[in-house]
Structures are given as structure tokens and as C-alpha cells.
Structure 1
Amino acid sequence: MTGPLPNGTSFLQVEDLSRIYPSGEGIVTALSPFTHRFPAGLTAVVGPSGSGKSTLLNLLAGFDRPTTGRVLAGDTDLHRLSEAGRADFRLANYGFVFQNHNLVTILTALENVEFPLTLAGLPRRERRERALALLEEVGLGARASHLPAQLSGGEAQRVAIARALAHNPRVLLADEPTGNLDSHTGERVLALLTAQAREGRTVVLITHDREVAALADHTLRVRDGVVTVEE
């Protein structure tokens, strides 16, 4: 497990990053060339639907390949790795929280949190203790044996955050994690993410909510594939 970095340190950065797609009428510039260093803390990525926010997140995660430029995570250029190499690197360094929690429906809350630790090869006792501690941290220790269908939307999202933290990642990528939640539950989920940012993790959060963005340490605004930095 990797863990957060000291405040002021950057683990994630992009250099001349762009993504262009062919289309029937020529090309579509989903992301114009963009250079940025993501500091530890919470960075909100805001902009209208179709602006390029998800394209940026997919490139940061190594799910998509850039047309130009590179994504550096520490000393690693993600796109010089093989597909399997990127998957292994994500497992060791990244956590993900999605708008739809993406829990495995046939696994309990505890087993969902354990899942990335199982992939990482941790012994059963160690991963169970870690998963239980994380569920307690997000206030769901009493719900460990429940299946996702037995949880509320907010509870499922908190399980997803616990799962994202299972291997102590340096980077958390969150795509509209409060989008399907009521305001009170969304605030609780957001509080968990901001706490991780304060601990020195790099948290990149896509949001349409201005109130959520206002809580960020840094803001990137995306429009028509062009990213601007708002400090």
C-alpha cells in the first residue's frame, strides 16, 4: 500500500495532454493540450455536460490513451505501461468513486471493501481487519454483512469510498459521487472525501454542484475541451 504524500507535494501531473477523436465530419477535440500539476488536496473539475471532464478523468486514470502528451504519476508515465501494467499501477496507487457506486451486487459491504485487497494478494485476516476498520471509519461497521441492495444510496456510496481507500491510495478520482444523493447524504459523502484530501491525498472530483466545487482547494473549469485553472 502506498499512502498519501506530505502537503505541498504533487504525485500526479499532466504534460501537453490532449485527446482527439475521429468523427464522420473530421475530428472532435475532446481535450485540448493541457499541462498541469495536481497538488495534494481536493481539486474540483467543473463544466457543462460534454465539456471534456470525463475525458480528462479517464486519461488521468489510464483508462484512455492521450493523442498527445503524457500522464505522470510519481515517476511513472502511465501510457508507457502495458494495459496489464496500468491495471496493476491503478490497483496500487488509485482509488475510484463513481456516481453509481459500482458495488458488486453479490458481495456484502465487507466483501466489497476487501475485494481490491484480495486482488493485491493480502492474507485473509489482514484484509478483513483492514476492511472492517474502514467500514467503521465511514460509519458502517454495523452494516458489514449487508448486500448492496440492503443499503441506502448514501450507505452504498460510503462503502464505495471505503473500498477506494482499501489499499491506501495516493490518488482518489471521483466522478459526480454526490450526484444521486440528497443534500444531507451528499454532504456526508463529501466530508469523507475532503477529509482524505486534508490527509495529503490527491483527490480529483468531477461535479456539477457549485456548492461542492466551492469547498475545493483548487478548481479546473472545462469548456469545449479547454481546461482553465481557477485558483
Structure 2
Amino acid sequence: MTATPMQERGVQTASTPPLHIENLSRVYPSGEGQVQALASFTHTFPPGMTAVVGPSGSGKSTLLNLLAGFDTPSTGHVSVGEVNLTTLSEPARADFRLAHYGFVFQNHNLVSILSAQENVEFPLTLAGLSPKERRARARDLLELVGLANRAGHLPNQLSGGEAQRVAIARALARDPGILLADEPTGNLDSKTGELVLGLLTGAAAEGRRVVLITHDSEVAALAHHRLSVRDGVVTPG
């Protein structure tokens, strides 16, 4: 898999908030004992794309859930800029995610009864933008991902790759500083996967912090930085 032109431009400096974890760990109760899903570690995610690589069950998804504030750490905290995400109430975390995070999942998670255009507009509706502003922003993003001609189609009328590109457009709707992508090419053929990765590397090249969960070494090779996870232990490279 070759680097995309967007990736070859490198990472620009952007005013996105730093993403930092301090002594972060997650332990789950199991019968009479405990399971360490993620061992304590400290890391600052730099601008650009960081691939988090490891086999199934290694702790990658646990890390992603903690970074997003979907789960609460056993020790340590996640901070975005000056905000300690871990100490926020759940409603405050949800509002913070809406403003600062974008998400791309293995299954695109589009709303089935909304068109591609409406799916991209959805986070902008939650943010209170006017219908005119929402439509314009969604049109621009669908054009960016090469799907302006599919704006009126429902998710079940799109191919898997098209739906995933709409999901990326939706993730970029509020211009977040942080993108979290969980196996975004896992259900795609290699050609379509390269298109999706090109969009993510392009977002990273603009200075965003993109955290990409993958078990694919070829996908990981396109990232600017890399973390390896095995049995809950995270190591650089």
C-alpha cells in the first residue's frame, strides 16, 4: 500500500488541542479476580495520524473508549488541552465530544432513515447551525469525499465504501481537532480502503490528531506515529 499525495505533504501545524493521557489504565472485575484490559501508561498524541496496532483482544478498543470518554479509567486521566475529560459529567463529556471529536467506525453507523446529506448535517443540527449553514457545510464535505452526486441517497442505497466516506464527511462536519477511527477499512476491499485511508491521512495532514485502530500492518505503515498494544501493554513503535 503506497502513501497518498495528502500524506506525502506531511503534517501541517494547526491549533488543535493537545491530547494527553496520564497514568491511564483500565481494570475490569472478572469472577473473583480482575482483568487488566489496559496497563498504566502516559502518552501525548502528536498532530498527524497515530496507528494503534495489535491483535484482537489486545486492548486497542479499550484505549479508544477511554480516549473518547465512553469509558472511565481505573487510574489516570485523559485531557484535551486544559480540559480533564475524565472529571466531566456524562452530559458535559457528550457536549465536549460533539465539539472536539469526530468518529469513524468499522461499520459506518449512519442513520438508516437519513440521506447522505442529512447524515452529514446531523452533528451540525445538534450544534445549532441554521439550515442554510448546515446544507452548505454538508455539500462541501460530500464534495470533498467525492459523493456530491449521492447526497440524496439513503445508506442502504450506497456501497460500503461510499457509506464509509459519508461517515468521514460526518466526522469532519464540525471540523474537530481529534478523529478516532476504529478499523475503518476492516469491511472494505483494498481499493476502497485506500480511498478511505487517503481521506483520513488528508485530515491528519491538516494538523488534526487522528488515532487509527488497526490490526493491518500495511495500514499502520501509512501513519506518522505508531503504538503497539499486546495483552493490555502499550509500547511505542
Which ranges of structure 1 fall in alignment gaps of 5 or more residues? Answer: none
Q: Does 1:92 align with 2:76?
A: no
Q: Does 1:133 align with 2:140?
A: yes
State the partner residue of 2:27: 20
Q: What's the CA shift for 1:6? A: 2.3
State the partner residue of 2:192: 185
How far, CA to CA, are the matches of 1:175 and 1:47 in structure 2? 12
Give CA-to-partner distance per residue, 1:135-177, whole Å, 9 cap, x none.
0000000000000000000000000000000000000000000
TM-score, normalising length from structure 2? 0.94
Q: Of 63, 66, 88, which residue of structure 2 is paired with 1:81?
A: 88
Q: How many residues align?
A: 227
Q: What's the CA shift for 1:213? A: 0.3
Q: What's the CA shift for 1:219? A: 0.4
Contact 2:180 2:211 in 1 (8 A): yes
How far, CA to CA, are the matches of 2:40 and 2:17 in structure 1? 20
How far, CA to CA, are the matches of 2:190 and 2:55 in structure 1? 20
State the partner residue of 1:197: 204
Residue 180 of structure 2 aligns to a residue whose secondary structure is strand
State the partner residue of 1:54: 61
How far, CA to CA, are the matches of 1:102 and 1:7 in structure 2? 28
Q: What's the CA shift for 1:208? A: 1.1
State the partner residue of 2:175: 168
Report the residue type matching 2:43 in the other structure.
H
How far, CA to CA, are the matches of 2:218 and 2:75 in structure 1? 33
TM-score, normalising length from structure 1? 0.96
State the partner residue of 2:5: none
Which ranges of structure 2 fall in alignment gaps of 5 or more residues? Answer: 1-10
Q: What's the CA shift for 1:8? A: 9.7
Q: What's the CA shift for 1:25? A: 3.7
Runs of 4 or more above 2 Å deviation = 4-10
**Structure 1 residues 119, 7: CA separation in 2 closer, same or farther (over 3 Å shift)?**
closer
How far, CA to CA, are the matches of 2:86 and 2:129 in structure 1? 27
How far, CA to CA, are the matches of 1:132 and 1:7 in structure 2? 24
Report the residue type matching 2:159 in the other structure.
S
Contact 1:30 1:52 in 2 (8 A): yes
Contact 1:100 1:180 in 2 (8 A): yes
Report the residue type matching 1:135 in the other structure.
L
Say what the alpha-carbon RMSD is for the aligned residues. 1.4
Q: Of 9, 18, 24, which residue of structure 2 is paired with 1:11?
A: 18
Residue 50 of structure 1 aligns to a residue whose secondary structure is coil
Q: Of 149, 163, 166, which residue of structure 1 is paired with 2:156?
A: 149
